[in-house]
A and B are shown apart, each in its own frame.
Chain A
Amino acid sequence: MKTLSLTLLAATAISSFTSQAAELDIKLTNLTQGVHFTPILITAHSGDTSLFEVATPASTALQTMAEGGNIAPLVDEATAANSDMVANPAEGLLAPAASTMASLTTTEGNDYLSLTAMLLPTNDGFVGLNSWKIPTEAGTYTIYLNGYDAGTEANDERVVEGSGALGVPGIPAAPGGNAGTGGSGVTSSESNTMVHIHPGNLGDDDLEAGISDLDNTVHRWLNPVAKLTVTVK
């Protein structure tokens, strides 16, 4: 009887310890028909940090990702915060309707999962997951992700080479090769300078002129823009 009690105690101790760390298999699917994702960053972190927060100003690191797809500053911040991460699992762009897989082992205390990737072609749109509590119960969980706007750049919808740099207006690229030129610019201001749900691309029906370089039958989307499947082992 004493032996049994000791064994049970030991088992309880082990299981409560392992519930702090997790082994995750992650699958991200780009659900859109015509929008690419730039390099993806997935982090597991403590409750004291995050990649972005809605209704607050974007950090410079988030702005760098959302305007140009460069995740290096976010990776540096996540490293400094002792987050566990998978950086760039798709090794470049994740095409419309394509999926990518990743495995992530979290350390004790990093109980929240977050994800970002820029939406192309947009000015400063990104797909995001903010601080999803990683379940302690083994199983497969599905989360649908929305498109956000960093609030740092006007959505002029003009494709301009080099505009991925901080503060340079324009969409840096349209990877589908199906955008136009000569757009006069949808707007030159951003009324909401906080991180918010993206209002969506507008586009127009003139690839040589009009207000937007985007095609209104190709580059729009409806939320959600991504499906995340997390298997807790």
Chain B
Amino acid sequence: MLRLTKSLIIIALGASLAACGDSNNNRSETPPEVVSPPVVSPVVTYEFTIQVSNLTAAQPLSPIAVISHTENMLWEIGSPASTALEVMAEGGNNSDLLAVDFATAVASADAPLPPGSQVTLSLTTEQLDSLKISLATMLVNTNDAFTGLNAIDVSSLAVDEALTFTTFAYDAGTEANSEAAGTIPGPADSGEGFNEERNDVNYVAMHPGVVSQHDGLSSSVLSSQHKFDNPLTQVVITRTQ
């Protein structure tokens, strides 16, 4: 400890000596010609973190997709799901959602989010005006249930300011809620994910919940632990820059 302190003093002395030498030398020289740096308009970026907590008993959430955008919505109650939403809601694959043409920035979790777990994603954009953030993820032990946030306006958030939400369960309306063996991609069944056939109401609505074999659907592969109620997740959106 003593030796360290001495070394620091020596370094400090050396540095101040060097500084003296420099200033002495410069004084006798012609000042350098002033050259204006080329004008570069600075790129202003805005950063947000999105922290998601899975509040369910036994519904892993497929890799969470977040997108920023200034127009459009990922889904609308009463309207048919887009194919990109259907692919995510039936099978947990968010690649088509991340590729929507109106996204200005996207991020994805790299793994499913287990019940009782939390993940934080971040988005960086170059625009704040009219900026919205959307989030979507599948409840994988269901036929086509998903949860998320739809076009949350974050344009008036100050740095370090946060918005907290809880999210509802939605039904993509593209696959009947049979809960049958072979139709559920999550670990409860390891069955089929996306199937382009639409054999349900073909509009997005709130999800009525899963029934399960323990609550009156004898053909269900789900058990009581797979049941869920609103809310599904807690989401905290924080502007960090």
Q: Please provide the chain B residues from 166 to 222 with a CB less than 8 Å away from any CB of chain A in the complex.
A: 168-169, 171, 173, 176-179, 201, 203-209, 211, 215-219
Instruction: Let me know if A205 is at the binding interface, CB within 8 A.
Output: yes
Write out the residue numbers on chain B whose beta carbons fall within 8 Å of the beta carbon of A89. Answer: none
Distance between Cα atoms of A33 and B78 in the complex (Å):
9
Q: Please provide the chain A residues from 106 to 158 with a CB less than 8 Å away from any CB of chain B in the complex.
A: none
Distance between Cα atoms of A223 and B219 in the complex (Å):
25
Whether the pair A220, B217 counts as a contact (CB closer than 8 A) is no
Q: Is the interface of A mostly helix, strand, loop or mixed?
A: loop
Known A-B contacts A98-B78, A205-B219; A222 and B230 likewise in contact (beta carbons under 8 Å): yes
Whether the pair B209, A222 counts as a contact (CB closer than 8 A) is yes
Distance between Cα atoms of A32 and B208 in the complex (Å):
7
Known A-B contacts A32-B208, A220-B208; A97 and B178 likewise in contact (beta carbons under 8 Å): no
Known A-B contacts A205-B216, A217-B177, A223-B230; A31 and B211 likewise in contact (beta carbons under 8 Å): no
- Residue in B173, B203, B207, B216 whose beta carbon sits within 8 Å of that of A222 in the complex: B207
Instruction: Let me know if A218 is at the binding interface, CB within 8 A.
Output: yes
Distance between Cα atoms of A31 and B201 in the complex (Å):
13
Distance between Cα atoms of A31 and B205 in the complex (Å):
6
Instruction: Let me know if B47 is at the binding interface, CB within 8 A.
Output: no
Q: Please provide the chain A residues from 7 to 50 with a CB less than 8 Å away from any CB of chain B in the complex.
A: 29, 31-34
Q: How far is the CB of A23 from chain B (nearest CB, A)?
A: 24
Closest to A203 in B: B216
Known A-B contacts A29-B78, A205-B216; A222 and B206 likewise in contact (beta carbons under 8 Å): yes
Distance between Cα atoms of A183 and B35 in the complex (Å):
90
Instruction: Let me know if B229 is at the binding interface, CB within 8 A.
Output: yes
Give the interface size bracket for A toward B: 20 to 34
Write out the residue numbers on chain B whose beta carbons fall within 8 Å of the beta carbon of A219. Answer: 208
Instruction: Let me know if B159 is at the binding interface, CB within 8 A.
Output: no
Whether the pair B211, A220 counts as a contact (CB closer than 8 A) is yes
Whether the pair A222, B208 counts as a contact (CB closer than 8 A) is yes
Known A-B contacts A97-B205, A222-B169, A222-B230; A216 and B77 likewise in contact (beta carbons under 8 Å): no
Q: How far is the CB of A182 from chain B (nearest CB, A)?
A: 16
Whether the pair B211, A217 counts as a contact (CB closer than 8 A) is yes
Closest to A204 in B: B216
Whether the pair A216, B217 counts as a contact (CB closer than 8 A) is yes
Residue total for B at the interface (Cβ-Cβ under 8 A): 26
- Write out, one digit per residue, whether chain A residues 200-217 have a CB within 8 A of any chain B CB (1) or not (0): 001111000000000011
- Residue in B176, B205, B230 whose beta carbon sits within 8 Å of that of A32 in the complex: B205
Closest to A35 in B: B208
Whether the pair A33, B217 counts as a contact (CB closer than 8 A) is no
- Residue in A97, A218, A221 whose beta carbon sits within 8 Å of that of B203 in the complex: A97
Whether the pair A216, B205 counts as a contact (CB closer than 8 A) is no
Q: How far is the CB of B212 from chain A (nearest CB, A)?
A: 10
Write out the residue numbers on chain B whose beta carbons fall within 8 Å of the beta carbon of A204. Answer: 216
Write out the residue numbers on chain B whose beta carbons fall within 8 Å of the beta carbon of A34. Answer: 201, 208
Known A-B contacts A216-B216, A217-B176, A222-B169; A33 and B206 likewise in contact (beta carbons under 8 Å): yes
Whether the pair A33, B211 counts as a contact (CB closer than 8 A) is no
Instruction: Let me know if A73 is at the binding interface, CB within 8 A.
Output: no
Distance between Cα atoms of A27 and B209 in the complex (Å):
25
Write out the residue numbers on chain A whose beta carbons fall within 8 Å of the beta carbon of B211. Answer: 203, 205, 216-217, 220
- Write out, one digit per residue, whether chain B residues 114-147 have a CB within 8 A of any chain A CB (1) or not (0): 0000000000000000000000000000000000
Most chain B CB within 10 A, of A31, A203, A224, A225, is at A31
Write out the residue numbers on chain B whose beta carbons fall within 8 Å of the beta carbon of A205. Answer: 211, 216-219
Given contacts A216-B215, A225-B206, 20 further A-B contacts (CB under 8 A): A31-B206, A33-B173, A34-B201, A34-B208, A96-B201, A96-B205, A202-B216, A205-B211, A216-B211, A216-B217, A217-B179, A217-B217, A218-B208, A219-B208, A220-B209, A220-B211, A222-B169, A223-B230, A224-B230, A227-B77
Closest 3 CB pairs of A and B: A33-B205, A97-B78, A220-B208
Chain B residues with CB under 8 Å of chain A are: 77-78, 168-169, 171, 173, 176-179, 201, 203-209, 211, 215-219, 229-230
Chain A residues with CB under 8 Å of chain B are: 29, 31-34, 96-99, 202-205, 216-225, 227
